[in-house]
Amino acid sequence: MKKILFSLSFFFLSFGFVFSQEKPLKILMIGAHPDDCDIKSGGTAALFVQMGHEVKFLTVTNGDAGHMEMGGGMLAKRRYEETQEVARRLGVTYDVLDNHDGELLPTLEIRLDVIRKIREWGADVVISHRPNDYHPDHRYTGVLVQDAAFMVGVPNIAADTPPLRKNPVFLYYQDNFQKPNPFSPDIAIDISSVIDKKIYGMDAHVSQFYEWLPWVSNDPDEIPEGKEERIAWLKSKRAFAPNPTVRKGLEKWYGQEKAAQVQYAEAFEICEYGTQPSKEEILRLFPMLRMN
């Protein structure tokens, strides 16, 4: 009898969290192009997935202009296939809206599509670009998401999709643009433990990181041929230590000593248009911050 009781006690101590755990969070990361979410928040996405939460990447354009040799439907198809490989590698869902790359405008039609996507996912958190980015597609994606922020709860807008009963927390990705206002890192996440997973996800965008982006930036480096060599090269180009502003944001959540040790981070700014979270709500929505 004692052995049975001991076994039952061990079972509930080991697995009891399953019964007390809240339902998985639903995180929606929105980018203008089929690699923006990966660049801006791939590490945070990997941490969410690792903790049992659900992440969707949504790209508002199909990426059909992002190459120096290919274009149109053929490129859009290739880039869609790359997004699905990312989804497999990171454990996320990856949706692509069929709008032309480089031609995005914040129209009512696309706003309604974004509203539907936020509702369908039942998003707790939505993250996207700030509307003062260098790229017009990034800027207008930010505007579209801002314009959707209140409307996701209005039943008579996009009435074919049930409204959300609670407005999500809307956040912006980190950028380095200073005018008209600089990025403010309200939330900063240590992604050092998953940086290799993030880079491995980005590696699936072969058309971008090994072809188009080196070409458009006149990168003089020769792209390695081997798989491992390519990933190492990509990490050298895309993984950086936090800048001083983000380091300050890390100190808020991790403390000065631990923040100083963070090798890689992703940071986000709270948008004023959605639910305004308290510190306790941020810790609920970003449970990786509670593990310090």
The enclosing domain of 33 has a CATH number of 3.40.50.10320
Question: Does residue 5 lie in a domain region?
Answer: no
Angle at 212 between CA 211 and CA 218, to 5 degrees: 95
Written in H, E and C, the secondary structure of 195-240 is HHHHHHHHHCCHHHHHHHHHHHCCCCCCCCCCHHHHHHHHHHHHCC
Instruction: Quote the number of domains for the chain.
Output: 1
Quote the pLDDT of residue 285: 98
Sign of the CA dihedral 279, 280, 281, 287?
Answer: positive
**pTM of the predicted model, to two decimals?**
0.91
Residue 6 falls inside a structural domain: no
* pLDDT for res 36: 98
- Residue 11 belongs to a domain: no
The predicted-structure confidence for 193-249, as pLDDT tens digits, reads as follows 999 999 999 999 999 999 999 999 998 888 999 999 999 999 999 999 999 999 999
pLDDT digits (tens, 9 = 90+) for 245-291: 999 999 999 999 999 999 999 999 999 999 999 999 999 999 999 97
Distance CA 137, CA 183 (A): 18
Separation of alpha carbons 196 and 255, rounded Å: 24
Structural domain of 65: 24-291
**Is the residue at 1 inside a domain?**
no
Is residue 214 one of the residues assigned to a domain? yes
- For residue 54 the two structure tokens come to 């659900």
Q: How many C-beta atoms surround the C-beta of residue 210 within 10 A?
A: 17
Q: How far is CA 195 from CA 87, 215, 290, in A?
A: 16, 25, 19
Domain annotation covers residue 256: yes
